Structure 1
Amino acid sequence: MIDVLKAFYSVHYNFGILAIIILLLAIFFLSKKIYIFAGITLLVVVAFNIAIYKMTDGKSWTLEAAIVKDQFGMEKKGDPMTFSVSKNWVNEQGIIVDRGDTIHHWCWVDQLWENFSETDVIGALWGENKSKKMIKASESHAGGLSE
């Protein structure tokens, strides 16, 4: 479990910072002798780490390759990439780094962010018609600027 969390927190350090802040809140409650809230926050930290472990360990995520052009202008489709904690995130030296500081990584956090970024917030809040009107208005405004 520790190896999975080390690999996860080294890439998604924002989750690690959140766990540390909750832990510091528990230490604050202990310093004020509010043991019930300290116990609750410690349980939240443990549950948070267990949830991350369960969502990460033993799972793999596959990214389909895009069609790219090589230096000669020939189009080809690359190989799909599969990521998992045990095989692709960590080796003996640590996180796999290729060509400088590029970290090859994909997991449930990235998938959630991808799904969220495709969400039409205006359409969800005010309805599809309002969303279409705003898109049309912004496109017509942008078209007027280019002339």
Structure 2
Amino acid sequence: MKIGELSEKTGVATRLLRYYEEVGILHPFRSGNGYRTYGEPAIDRVLQIRELLEAGLTTEMIREVLPCLDAAKEGTEAESCPVDDKDLDGLRRQLISIERRIDVLQRNQRAIKSYIHAWEKAGVASPSATDGPQEADVRR
């Protein structure tokens, strides 16, 4: 597939896909006419890159850990994953940050489930976003 199709399938702008190639975290094939072409695995790779960026990793960190993540996905040892102490410290900080966010999300998930359960148990229909403004909203 060409870069435009990869962009459509992933929701990532072509400009960003070119940037990912430039920084060495996405590796397209080049056809005889110089066009970038991507295999189906590129879709998962781009989505993985987006998730890692959203988790707070830099493109430098991502470039370092992608081979290790690939090895882990294949169930092989990540012996070919040299990481210097500075990179390892940065990854540890990111892991702590991710774990904190997961804890917060899980607490919020439990609270929302509890709220919904209480509404359902009380037999009260919860207000829907599609119902339009509620009376309290109109008074504001």
- TM-score computed with the length of structure 2 as normaliser: 0.27
> Higher strand fraction: Structure 1 or Structure 2?
1
- TM-score computed with the length of structure 1 as normaliser: 0.26
